[in-house]
Amino acid sequence: MVEKVAITKNTNRKIYEVRSVSKSDGKLHYWGAKNTKDAAESILRERFTGAAKDWAEKYHCRWWIEEIDTMGLFELPDRPAPRDKYRVNTTPVESQAGAWNTLRVDILDIAGNAIAHFDRNYPIMYGTFEPFRQGEKLLALVSPDYTTTAVMDLETGKIIASETPNSYGFCPVGFYVPDWWDIHDDSILPGSSSWTTDMEQPNGNFGFVWGCLWGDDSSWKVQYLDLSRVQQGEILRDERFGYVQLATHPALKPKDFINCSFYGGTWKVTFSVISSYDLLSGKREPHEFE
């Protein structure tokens, strides 16, 4: 049984936003919101320190701190992200002659306690462990079979959704599920004037897998994962990006080569990709499937 990791809540249920009114047109201006009144007062003091004070008094007729009740609004997820709370420890398991060795994979919490395990039928783990959250549910992308993407419930240690193994199928070597803290910070708070519903994404309903078809291991190709129904036992993968060769590197984190943004209700993703060029002509060399 995996110990639940509680989501940090804003028990104060209030934020404090610095506001002012323009002398010229009566327009309301916003200068940032904080979780405490003391922090908001610090913003206000900065506006009346040194040369900033002359500007503040010349162009604005009123400055104040607005107290905003955030009860029922979106709450920032706790930190660190799930991928930083869990890790794996692998132990090689010898197989009979002529067969691959396998791995016992123990999942450890932030304190180093083993909380779940599974067996992987391939001797290399690669980057096939990605904890993520959907609301308060803690899950993880795993690959017990080297040709499948699966989802484990970190509370029970059980696989709740999985692809069907295929000896000639797509072999995952890395996973990424964008976490809220991968895309945002706490410089804009729910309830503040700068907050939009776009900022409530991502919610763990999609991710990415990279790897290759069995035998085609010259580069890693990236594919999309629909995780919206994994709690109902369904995981979907598709090649909507085409044959994209992802530029991964062991020294980089996935968010360094997969960048997601959400604006106006639309997701966009930017990949760091591999491209080859003829040095003399400068012409890009297409890969074999183009």
> How do residues 106-144 score in pLDDT, each as one tens digit?
999 999 999 999 999 999 999 999 999 999 999 999 999
**Number of domains present in the structure of the chain:** 2
Residues 96 and 20 in one domain: no
pLDDT at 219 (0 to 100): 84
pLDDT of amino acid 148: 96
Claim to verify: residue 92 and residue 188 sit in the same structural domain: yes
Residues of the chain with pLDDT under 70: 1-12, 217, 288-290
pLDDT in tens, 81-104: 999 999 999 999 998 887 889 999
Q: Round to whole Å and give the CA distance between 114 and 105.
A: 10
In a domain, 75, yes or no: no
- Sequential DSSP letters for 246-276: E---TTS-HHHHEEEEEETTEEEEEE-B--E
pLDDT given for residue 3 in this prediction: 36
- Asked whether residue 116 is assigned to any structural domain, the reply reads yes
Q: Which domain holds residue 151?
A: 82-277
| Shared domain check, 53 and 125 | no
Residues 31 and 92 in one domain: no
Distance CA 26, CA 119 (A): 66
Q: Is 141 inside any structural domain?
A: yes
Q: Is 39 exposed, middle or buried (0-12, 13-18, 19+ CB in 10 A)?
A: middle
Q: Are residues 266 and 156 part of one domain?
A: yes
d(CA 271, CA 260): 9
Quote the tokens at residue 51. Answer: 């040369």
Predicted model pTM: 0.88
**Residues 127 and 104 reside in one and the same domain:** yes
